[in-house]
Amino acid sequence: MPPSLRRWLSLGFVAAVIILGLYHLIDFDQPSVVIESIPVASKNNHFQWKDVPKQYPVSSMMALPTARPLHIPTIQFDFSWRKESKEEKDKREARMKAVKENFAHAWEGYKAHAWMKDEVAPLSGGSRDTFGGWAATLVDSLDTLWIMGFKKEFMNAVGALDKIDFSRSSGEEINVFETTIRYLGGFLSAYDLSGHADLLTKAIQLGEMLYVAFDTPNRMPNTRWRWKDAANGTSQEAAAYTIVAEIGSLSLEFTRLSQLSGDPKYFDAVQRITEQFLRYQNQTKLPGMWPVIVTPENADFVSDNTFSLGAMSDSLYEYLPKQYMLLGGLHKEYREMYEAAIATAKQHNFFRPLNKDNLDILVSGLVKVYDGKVELIPEGQHLVCFAGGMIGIASQIFGLDDLSTASKLVDGCIWAYASTPAKIMPETFRLIPCKGDCLWNEAEWLKEVLNYQTGYGDSANDIAQERRLPPGFTDIMDRSYILRHVFERTLPAS
């Protein structure tokens, strides 16, 4: 495929990632257009989602496992093996203090400018409702408030939950994935930490709402859901197409809600999705992994030809080892799916990039499959920096020899940070996969810059300078930094 065509295809994919996956995260510092809250038609204004008649009821419910959980090795690092020096303790506590102060500053800003709204707009001091209008920042911060010891603030926030009404929304359409991870996950994690009963009550209220999104002929959810139509009894279909992460990243929250509430229907809902992933995992165009776009409406999990651990796919893979742990190791399919996926990613997605310091690092790239031919597109993404932690966790709980791979992926992100003048990693960028001994070769780098940066001139040095490309980078497609990523170096247990 000609370099110019590959470049346009890559740019097209990046545009799709931004439009489909990240549009709601950009703050243009403009007042947001908020649709008026739409009340659901109900008698006596006492609408309950659990009372909505089911169009396609489940005849046989899948139950949670009841056997004795398996022994799963711990993943936490054991610090008891050595004594912390005074200097180390002072540094650690200073860092803790800085983190806590930064959170307190952000929380006070939210309270002052966007209380009970989804987000604060930090530049204008305004607010935005981008996640249904149910105080997303408040709910998503509950567990952090508890962990950091802000117990008074925590109780004030819990007291405000009565104002959240899931029979109303700021939008006509709900993103089921975002609502699940931010709200349902927020309620459940805060409940697990604090034991405050109101949090579980709220989680069940939301769970009843989200469960209606699964009321389709094949029980696959409508991920971009017109909730008002469903509430008023309109028959609905599963999504015509969706980002694979959106349908594949519901299992933890729904399973935990079944465990805490005793109602198996939530686990049943997500386990049906898991069965589809399991069924088609080895039938995709890159067997072992799932494409970034799937079609729940007709259970098509195989047609798309793009594969990644990054944007639009990330949490699908992240949830596999975590769901295995949540279920006490009693559903082995989560381990099997994870191991098959990572074996494929190691073979096709992970690559060692040419770099000036000859570091032995890895980056997870994008894979396209054309007529059975697998092509690596060596694009790095900030979003995929979670992968080192995921692989580190899985290597511990499954006893896999993958800690070196995990560490190299994290080191790849650290290198990408260190490579820029601001020491901040860009969102998306293009590198050169190593061939042979992987020793730095400036001529090879400049050749690839000239090969890829068509239309910018004939001098690779001038192009690299004009495009501000650090050594080893052939392009930086998105120079922005979106404040939503956290990654950690994986440490082996002592």
Contact 404, 446 (CB under 8 A): no
Contact 239, 230 (CB under 8 A): no
Residues 6 or more apart whose Cβ sits within 8 Å of residue 28: none
Rounded CA Rg of the chain: 24
Q: How far is CA 448 from the centre of its chain?
A: 32
| Type of residue found at 131 | F
**How far is residue 260's CA from residue 265's CA, in Å, rounded to a whole number?**
12
* 3-class SS letters over 331-358: CCHHHHHHHHHHHHHHHHCEECECCCCC
State the distance between the two ends of the chain, measured CA to CA, in whole angstroms.
Answer: 49
H/E run at residue 207: helix 197-212
Residues 6 or more apart whose Cβ sits within 8 Å of residue 312: 17, 20, 21, 243, 244, 245, 292, 293
Residue 310: name the closest of 256, 237, 363, 242 by CA: 363
**How far is residue 37's CA from residue 40's CA, in Å, rounded to a whole number?**
10
**How far is residue 109's CA from residue 122's CA, in Å, rounded to a whole number?**
8
- 427 is annotated as an active-site residue: yes
Residue 266: name the closest of 317, 204, 323, 218 by CA: 204
Runs of H (alpha helix) within 18-117: 86-114
- Considering the candidates 275, 427, 448, 488, report the single residue annotated as catalytic: 427
In the structure encoding, which two tokens stand for residue 399, read together?
A: 């006893």
Contact 331, 323 (CB under 8 A): yes
In the structure encoding, which two tokens stand for residue 144, read together?
A: 């952090």
Residue 72: name the closest of 437, 345, 324 by CA: 324
Other beta carbons within 10 Å of 50: 12
Task: Indicate which residues carry an active-site annotation.
Answer: 427
